[in-house]
């Protein structure tokens, strides 16, 4: 196992997609495949005996829910990045996976280049999320803070105990809209490296580890306007 490569574990029950993701990882020189599981039982065995940096996981497994594995790995191996790759982009699945500890969430129609790019972003401290998934997250947040009645607080004043700076709050607003680090940098006129530095500070101040957690926690604190 090469130390300069990102090691990947794949958990996918559908043979066609399992082979597709396997080939994506094997064809990328910076990645190394360390295991492939077709169900929850096989995944559990690999998780117990294999070291890996990233877990690509589907939610719908024949013998259980992928969310259970996400929760287990995020609790016992916090250094591992977990990216959901699934057909489920609805609010319930997205929120459940993020709350369980997923650090990225993309759909199965993502291109091979997108999958590789998202893995790199994960390891760089980002939280890649497909646009349709980002909309689900935002919709869930609006429902939670507004009770589903549209009772949100657009344009309201920021709370006095806001731990974030004006720039950090601005960046978090853009993160909540599903924008990439590069897009945020272009909008604000700063480098992606600077964006990453701000995001790391945001995560530290909010005591979170992913984009979804940051958006959820900030909304609960009233730091984000919807």
Banded model confidence at residue 148, pLDDT cuts 50, 70, 90: very low
Own/partner contacts of 62-67, CB < 8 Å, gap of 24 or more, are 62/13, 63/39, 64/39, 64/40, 65/40, 66/11, 66/40, 66/97, 67/96, 67/97, 67/100
For residues 86 and 175, state if they share a domain.
no
In a domain, 145, yes or no: no
Give the tens place of pLDDT for each residue, 45-84: 999 999 999 999 999 899 988 999 999 998 888 889 999 9
* Rounded Cα distance, 94 and 129, in Å: 10
Question: Is 115 found in the same domain as 171?
Answer: no
45 assigned to some structural domain: yes
- The distance of Cα 113 from the centroid of its chain, to the nearest Å, equals 17
Answer whether 93's CB lies under 8 Å from 86's CB: yes
Can you give the CATH number for the domain in which 94 is found? Answer: 3.40.50.2300
d(CA 187, CA 176): 14
Question: What residues make up the domain containing 51?
Answer: 6-128
Q: Indicate if 71 and 172 belong to the same structural domain.
A: no
In this structure, the answer to whether residues 28 and 59 fall within a common structural domain is: yes
Same domain, 22 and 110: yes
Helix (H) or strand (E) holding 86: strand 81-86
Q: Are residues 121 and 155 in the same domain?
A: no
- The answer to the question of residue 166 being in a domain is yes
Number of domain units in the chain: 2
pLDDT tens string 152-178 = 343 444 455 678 888 888 898 888 887
């Amino acid at each position: 196992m090469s130390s300069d490569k990102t090691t990947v574990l794949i958990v996918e029950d559908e043979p066609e997609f399992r082979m597709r993701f396997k080939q994506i990882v094997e064809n990328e020189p910076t990645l190394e495949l360390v295991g492939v599981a077709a169900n929850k039982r096989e995944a559990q065995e690999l998780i117990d005996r294999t070291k890996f940096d990233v877990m690509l996981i589907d939610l719908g497994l024949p013998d259980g829910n992928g969310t259970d594995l996400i929760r287990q790995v995020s609790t016992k191996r916090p250094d591992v990045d977990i990216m959901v790759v699934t057909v489920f982009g609805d609010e319930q699945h997205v929120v459940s996976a993020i709350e369980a500890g997923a650090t990225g969430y993309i759909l199965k129609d993502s291109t091979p280049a997108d999958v590789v790019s998202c893995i790199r972003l994960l390891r760089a401290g980002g939280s890649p999320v497909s646009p349709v998934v980002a909309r689900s997250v935002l919709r869930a947040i609006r429902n939670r803070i507004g009770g589903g009645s549209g009772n949100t607080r657009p344009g309201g004043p920021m709370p006095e105990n806001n731990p974030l700076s004006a720039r950090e709050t601005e960046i978090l607003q853009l993160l909540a809209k599903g924008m990439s680090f590069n897009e945020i940098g272009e909008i604000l006129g700063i480098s992606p490296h600077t964006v990453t530095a701000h995001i790391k500070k945001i995560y530290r101040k909010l005591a979170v580890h992913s984009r979804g957690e940051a958006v959820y926690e900030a909304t609960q604190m009233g730091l984000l306007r919807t």
